[in-house]
Amino acid sequence: MKRLGQILEERNPNRPKNLSQEFQVYGVFLADTLGDPEHYSLYIKLAKEYERSLLEEALNYTKGYTSAKSKARVFMWKLQQLKNDKKT
């Protein structure tokens, strides 16, 4: 019988190992949801610096785009729009 750590490592070999803060876990969730595992650190940084409501709204908007080539690009575009709207 395999250990749980071995099973998780087989399923997600590129996943960051040391997730101790909540924003780190949320950043990894964003990267996985958007299908952009190469940029875990970017999403962790976004989760640390931006309000959760902005990130959630951008993520929900992105989930509606089923035909998008890059959901990560749509997410970043929508996040930028939401930041600009909040400033004005």
pLDDT in tens, the chain (88 residues): 777 667 666 766 666 667 788 889 899 899 989 999 899 899 999 999 999 999 999 999 999 888 888 999 999 999 999 999 988 7
Determine, yes or no, domain membership for 6. no
- Residue 72 near residue 36, CB atoms below 8 Å: yes
Determine, yes or no, domain membership for 5. no
Determine, yes or no, domain membership for 2. no
| Count: domains in the chain | 1
Determine, yes or no, domain membership for 3. no
- Residue 16 near residue 24, CB atoms below 8 Å: yes
Determine, yes or no, domain membership for 12. no
Determine, yes or no, domain membership for 10. no
Sign, CA dihedral 45-50-51-57, equals: negative
What pLDDT does residue 10 have? 72
- What pTM, to 2 d.p., does this model score? 0.77
Helix pair angle (22-34, 71-87), 10° resolution? 130
Domain that residue 38 falls in:
20-87
Determine, yes or no, domain membership for 11. no
What pLDDT does residue 12 have? 67
